[in-house]
Amino acid sequence: MQTETKSTIRRRAFSAAFPRTIPILAGFLFLGISYGLYATAAGFAFWYPILMAVAIFGGSLEFVAVEMMLGVFAPVQTFVMALMIQARHLFYGISMLEKYKGTGWKKIYLIYGMCDESFSINCSADIPEDVDKGWFMFFVTLLNQLYWVAGTAVGAVLGSLITFDLDGLEFVMTAMFVVIFLDQWLKEKKHYTGVIGLAASAVCLLIFGADSFMIPTMMCILVLLTVFRKPIEQAGGLL
């Protein structure tokens, strides 16, 4: 191993990592392009979605951020929304405590770029013995982020050039959340948490109105999940 140069190690890790990310390539280009189009159709300059793709790097929240920037400035709601939408990353982190150990400076980037897709590859991949796991996970994370930023950039530039009617494109965000929600819903045997999410938001929307229902909704969800923890856990299917 000592005769191996650093570039050989990197090259081998890259060759092992790239094929694993190919399924993500298609998905991220598609969603990234949609996101770029969506943000520019909402009236933002092309660099806004690109900036968000790099800085936030979390698809769901990036869509929501565009919507929030169209409304009134609400920093507390923005931050709480970000925490709630991204809360699942806490659990990715917990699962990766062990795996990210000993990866040196790359660890910072691995954590920063830990989106759903990079997490699922890095968490489940059987990295071959002769491949450096730090560099493997680094390339998986980097490639996925590049796909997302590239897709977003293509969509954003197209969006600022396109002249045909993009009216209705904003529905891409709704469709995306419907699909993710449906996938989660189908995993649950009794659908308690899905119903809690829908019902709490619908009721709060009626009471507080479209501009200020999100914080009460998130509080209701946390309270309801805590109060009904027993039946929800007994119903099973939460994995």
Partner 1 sequence: MMLTQQMITIGLCALGTMATRFLPFLIFSPKKPTPKYIQYLGHALPCAIFGMLVVYCLKSVSITAAPYGVPEAIGIVVTVALHLWKRQMLLSIAGGTVCYMLLVQFIF
Q: Which stretch binds partner 1 (CB under 8 A): 7-15, 90-98, 126-134, 135-143?
A: 90-98
Which of 3, 19, 104, 168 binds partner 1 (CB under 8 A)? It is 168
By CB under 8 A, the residues from 95 to 114 that bind partner 1 are: 97-98, 100-101, 107, 111-112, 114
Q: Does 181 bind partner 1 (CB under 8 A)?
A: yes
164 φ/ψ angles, rounded to the nearest 5 degrees = -80, 170
**With contact defined as beta carbons under 8 Å apart, do 13 and 139 qualify?**
yes
126 or 165: CB nearest partner 1: 165
- Region of 150 (left: φ > 0; alpha: ψ -120 to 50; beta: rest) is alpha
Cα angle for residues 228, 230, 236 (degrees, 5° grid) = 105
Tell me the window of 11-19, 126-134, 145-153, 226-234 that interacts with partner 1 (CB under 8 A).
226-234
CB contact at 8 A, 29 and 147: yes
Instruction: Please provide residue 173's backbone torsions phi and psi, each rounded to the nearest 5 degrees.
Output: -65, -45
Closer Cβ to partner 1, 1 or 97, answer by number: 97
Q: Does 85 bind partner 1 (CB under 8 A)?
A: yes
Does position 142 interact with partner 1 (CB under 8 A)? The reply is no
